Amino acid sequence: MDPFPEDHELVGFFEADPEFRDRGGLSFHERLTFKTTRGEDQIVCDIEPGDRKLLISWYRQGNSVGRFALSGVASLELSSSRGEEFMTAKFALGTGLLEFRLYLKPHVQVQWGNVHDV
């Protein structure tokens, strides 16, 4: 994934330190897991930069709201604007896939679709 946020940017976005899971001692961690709670919502985000995978699990009061398993993620960016904080996953040109956005502020929300002319 390129670009990819700095470690401190991810910690700031999720307001949590990651769990690292690497099987071979690679310098580019095989998996980063962030867990954060916003009100009644809990987000668990697994990022595998080397494999270009992103898995987001969303729970409300312990019940699953949604699970998003994304592969072929070309870049991951964090943004803050007008009181909103969100992470954008972009895919390679030519895939036909639009950006995936995970908002954590002002509340948890997901934005994704496949309609190009909205």
Q: Which two tokens stand for residue 30?
A: 């095989």
Whole-angstrom CA distances from 71 to 42, 43, 64, 79, 82 are: 22, 18, 21, 21, 29
- pLDDT given for residue 7 in this prediction: 86
pLDDT in tens, the chain (118 residues): 888 898 889 999 999 998 876 655 444 557 889 999 999 999 999 999 888 999 999 999 999 999 999 999 999 999 998 999 999 999 988 888 889 999 999 999 999 977 666 5
pTM to 2 decimal places: 0.86
In sequence order, the 6+-apart residues with CB closer than 8 A to the CB of 105 are: 38, 83, 84, 85
